Amino acid sequence: MGVVRKFLAWLSVPVICLFALVLYIARPFNPDNNRLLGATVARAGRAILGMERPLEGREHIPADRPTVVIANHQHNDDLFVVGDLLPPRTVTVGKSSLVWVPFFGQVFWLGGNVILNRGRSHKAIAVMQATSSAIVRDRKSLWVFPEGTRSRGRGLQKFKKGAFHAAVASGAPITMVCAQEYQDKAIGWSGRREAVAVRILPPVETEGLTVDDIPELMARCHRQMAETIASL
C-alpha cells in the first residue's frame, strides 16, 4: 500500500499543475501563484500519503516583509513536507532541467521562479545576486534549498553561497525551515507514511552585513539548522 500511496501522491502533482496552468496563464509571473500551488500540492500529497506533519514556529515566517527562506533538502517528497510553508509572494530556486517536466515545468517558469544551471556556480551566484533586486523592488520572498542537492536523510550537507548573497544584497532576513530527518518508510498494513516534524526558527537579520560577512553568516545558519534537525 505504501508504494500505491506514493504513486498516487506523485500522480496528483502533474494533475494539479495542469489545472493550475489556468491560474498561471490568467496572471503570469504573479509570485503568489506559487504559494497557492505549493499549498495545494503539499496538502493533497500528505493526505494521500497519510502523512502527519507536526509544525512548530510558523509565526516566525515574516508576513509583512520579504524574507529569504532556507530549508534542508532530503528527498523529492520535501514538496509534500514543506510545500505549504511558502510566505506570500515567494519565488523558489530550481535547476534548469525542471522546466522540461510536463505541466510542473511550465507552471514553474510561469511562476517567475529562479532557474539555475548548477554546473556553473559563478553564474549561479550572479543570478542570485540579481534576484536581490527583485526582493527589494517587487517585495518578493525567496525560497532556497542551500545544500543544492538531496541529502537523502544523511544529515545537513554543506551550503552553497547563493541564498546568502541574495539575503545580504537585499537586506532581507533569513528564515530557516528545518525538517526532521526521514526515510521513505511506510507504517503498517495501510501504508501510511511516517510523520515528519518541521520547526521554523526566528529570522536572522542581515541588514548592514556585507559580502565579507557571508562566510560567518553561512556557518551560523548551518550550525543552528543542524542542531535543530538533530533535536527533532
Complete DSSP assignment for 195-207:
P--EEEPPPBP-T
Question: What pLDDT shows up at residue 127?
Answer: 67
Q: What DSSP character marks residue 230? A: H
- Backbone torsions φ then ψ of 208, nearest 5 degrees: 90, -10
- Whether domain 2-231 has CATH 3.30.450: the reply is no
Question: What pLDDT shows up at residue 149?
Answer: 80
Question: What pLDDT shows up at residue 1?
Answer: 85
C-beta of residue 185 within 8 angstroms of C-beta of residue 194: yes
Dihedral angle computed from the Cα positions of residues 121, 126, 132 and 134, in that order, rounded to the nearest 10 degrees: -110
Question: What pLDDT shows up at residue 128?
Answer: 67
Question: What pLDDT shows up at residue 93?
Answer: 79
Q: What DSSP character marks residue 27? A: S
| Distance set, CA 8 to CA 13, 40, 45, 53, 191 (Å) | 9, 15, 8, 19, 12
> pTM to 2 decimals?
0.91
10-residue stretch averages of pLDDT, the chain, 232 residues long: 92 95 92 93 97 96 92 94 94 81 88 72 62 80 88 86 91 96 86 95 95 96 97 94
Residue 111: strand, helix, or coil: coil
C-beta of residue 175 within 8 angstroms of C-beta of residue 200: yes
Question: What pLDDT shows up at residue 118?
Answer: 56
